[in-house]
């Protein structure tokens, strides 16, 4: 069974994007093994502390290396991706051995798919910019399908996201397409 690493682009406990990930996890039951990346202890990237890599960075690199694919569920912050997600990807994009740019990084060639829950744009701008970033650091992004959820008034007031049938179908189609994409 393939192993898919889920990365949530929100640090919020009741995050809608975490809720979306839990829905996707249910859809993958019996099809793929799912684990979640905890990166809350990863420091801000700073070349003064890059080598030797901090323990949290060593751990996330190992976790990413072991995954067959990555599914990112992220909110959109000001028409882009959240800073802590960029920080995580910056660490993953760097050589493990100082100045060794010949050995592929752990994100190089890694298959990635994107989803997000947010406002009117359904995180479209964020996913567009994230695709550009991931492509630059040589990840293999599945261009389509992606799932973008525009949160309804009830979600904003109750803090609980309930997917429509169409949104659940989109998520299911994305899950199936990604498992195929993993080969």
**By the rule CB under 6 A, 78 interacts with ligand FMN:** yes
Residue 119 binds ligand FMN, judged by CB under 6 A = yes
Count of positions on this chain that bind ligand FMN (CB under 6 A): 13
Q: Does the footprint of ligand FMN cover residue 181 (CB under 6 A)?
A: no
- 37 vs 106 by CB, closer to ligand FMN: 37
Q: Minimum CB separation from ligand FMN for residue 38, in Å?
A: 16
Cis peptide before 103 (omega within 30 of 0): no
Contacting ligand FMN within 125-154 (CB under 6 A):
none
Which of these, 69, 81, 83, lies nearest to 28 by C-alpha position? Answer: 69
In the list 118, 130, 175, 179, the residue contacting ligand FMN (rule: CB under 6 A) is 118
Residues between 79 and 98 that touch ligand FMN (CB under 6 A):
79
- Output the smallest distance, CB 84 to ligand FMN, in A: 11
Rounded least distance, CB 150 to ligand FMN, Å? 8
Among 4, 5, 15, 89, interactor with ligand FMN by CB under 6 A = 15
Binding site for ligand FMN (CB under 6 A): 10, 12, 15-17, 75-79, 118-119, 121
């Amino acid at each position: 069974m393939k192993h898919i690493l889920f990365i949530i682009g929100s640090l919020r406990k009741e995050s809608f994007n975490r809720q979306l990930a839990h829905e996707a996890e249910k859809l993958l039951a019996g099809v793929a093994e799912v684990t979640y990346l905890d990166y809350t202890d990863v420091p801000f990237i700073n070349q003064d502390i890059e080598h030797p890599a901090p323990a949290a960075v060593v751990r996330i690199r190992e976790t990413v290396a072991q995954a067959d694919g990555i599914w990112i569920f992220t909110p959109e912050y000001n028409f882009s991706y959240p800073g802590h997600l960029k920080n995580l990807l910056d660490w993953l994009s760097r050589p493990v051995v100082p100045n060794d740019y010949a050995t592929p990084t752990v994100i190089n060639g890694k298959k990635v798919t994107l989803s997000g829950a947010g406002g009117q744009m359904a995180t479209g701008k964020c996913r567009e910019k994230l695709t550009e970033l991931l492509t630059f650091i040589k990840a293999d992004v599945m261009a389509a399908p992606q799932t973008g959820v525009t949160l309804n008034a009830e979600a904003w007031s109750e803090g609980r996201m309930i997917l429509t049938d169409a949104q659940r179908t989109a998520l299911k189609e994305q899950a199936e397409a990604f498992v195929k994409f993993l080969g």
